[in-house]
Structure 1
Amino acid sequence: MAVVNHVARQRIKLLLIFIIFAAPIVTAWGMVEWRIGVPDETTAHGSPTDQVPSFELWPIAPMSDAPVSEGRWILAFDCSLQCPERRDLLWRMHRALGRDANRLTRMSIGGEGEPLPGEALVAWRETPRWSQPNKVWLIDPEGRPALAFSASVPAADILDDTQHLFKVNAR
């Protein structure tokens, strides 16, 4: 009887080991299949920029002496409507990046007035068909547009997306 009891105990231990290793897989499958416990929120407030060409192909001409820095992310803003207010919000957003602020260059396309600190002023040579008033684009250091933000997206959401991209794209 002691031998049967010992064998049964060993089988129960083996079964428990299988359950322990299979439980996370079964749980994950259930979460994916029935959408239980999966958040519905989106993390990106901007939209991907499929129709926007590489930054080198943008039809822009410099208006100020501040160059757009190579090897940095670029926050380009089509300054057509509510330009001073939006430029100020984007400047404050840039400062809110803290120690990562040096990874970003701001660029205002169009508009009037003096550039804010750390901002380059440029103008469209010709307005491209993919441009929209008050649109903001976040361009990676290699010149590829990463995200586009419509005029309705608050600067705090642009800051969230920028911080996330900086986090997942180490220097």
Structure 2
Amino acid sequence: MNPDRALRRSRLKLLALITVFALPMLAAWVMVTWRVGIPEQRTAHGELSPEVPLLAEWPLNELPLSLQTNDWILAFDCGTECDAQADQWWRLHRALGREADRISRLRIGGQATEPLPGETLAQWAEVPEWRSPGKLWVLDPQGMAAVSYTEGVDAADVLDDVQQLLDMNPQPPGSVDAEVAKR
């Protein structure tokens, strides 16, 4: 084979290889710069709340021991219709089906003496500035607020977000529930 032809062939292969790796980067740059091909749909219905501290730092009278697990937590601040809110979030909890055991509920405030099944009661020791009556927070297993919702949010939207969070964050392999699910 002619050495000049072999050199040209090697250069073409190198150019093709560079093109294969550079073309996706060029396409991504075009998509970001001119907003072409980027979906406009919204997947989360809640809001991010970076100002909310970890659950362990919340000014509650006492943090119940039942919440110091590796569960996700639905924490809601009872506003005006506390019993109706508690019932709504209890129904949402049940709607999760087999994933319901990965969620705990924390009701803060209100006049309830008996919690609903799967619910923990707490009271504010002092009112933090980031608090707002009727607010709902979804807390991750480390106690960080993943998403928050204002009063009057549709429970179906919260259910959609919680299911997505649980799907994206599967049970750790060593957990008891993960072992039962394998059988």
- Match for residue 153 of structure 1? 153
**Pairing 1:112-151 to 2, within 5 Å after superposition:** 112-113=111-112, 114-151=114-151
CA distance in 2, matches of 1:78, 1:168: 26
Number of aligned positions between the proteins? 162
- Match for residue 73 of structure 1? 72
Shift of 1:62: 5.4
- Letter of the 1:88 counterpart: D
Shift of 1:24: 5.4
Shift of 1:75: 0.6
CA distance in 2, matches of 1:98, 1:26: 44
Give the secondary structure class of the aligned counterpart of 1:138: strand
CA distance in 1, matches of 2:155, 2:30: 37
Shift of 1:25: 5.3
- Match for residue 56 of structure 2? 56
1:108-153 per-position Cα deviation (integer Å, ceiling 9, x unaligned): 0011233111001111111111110000011111111211111132
CA distance in 2, matches of 1:51, 1:156: 25
- Match for residue 33 of structure 2? 33
Mind listing any 5+ residue stretches in structure 1 that lack a counterpart?
1-9
Give the secondary structure class of the aligned counterpart of 2:147: strand
CA distance in 2, matches of 1:56, 1:116: 23
Aligned residues of 1:69 and 1:105 also touching (Cα < 8 A) = no
Aligned residues of 1:62 and 1:121 also touching (Cα < 8 A) = no
Aligned residues of 1:77 and 1:135 also touching (Cα < 8 A) = yes
- Letter of the 1:31 counterpart: M
- Letter of the 2:149 counterpart: F
CA distance in 2, matches of 1:79, 1:47: 19
Shift of 1:95: 1.0
CA distance in 1, matches of 2:37, 2:152: 30
Q: CA RMSD in A?
A: 2.8
Structure-1-length-normalised TM-score: 0.79
CA distance in 2, matches of 1:30, 1:53: 38
Give the secondary structure class of the aligned counterpart of 1:81: coil
CA distance in 1, matches of 2:24, 2:129: 49
Give the secondary structure class of the aligned counterpart of 2:148: strand
Pick closer, same or farther for the CA change 1:86–1:108 going to 2, 3 Å.
Answer: same
- Match for residue 45 of structure 2? 45
Identity percentage of aligned residues: 45
CA distance in 1, matches of 2:147, 2:141: 13
Shift of 1:69: 4.7
Structure-2-length-normalised TM-score: 0.74
1:81-129 per-position Cα deviation (integer Å, ceiling 9, x unaligned): 2212221111111111111111100010011233111001111111111
CA distance in 1, matches of 2:31, 2:69: 44
Mind listing any 5+ residue stretches in structure 2 that lack a counterpart?
1-8, 172-183
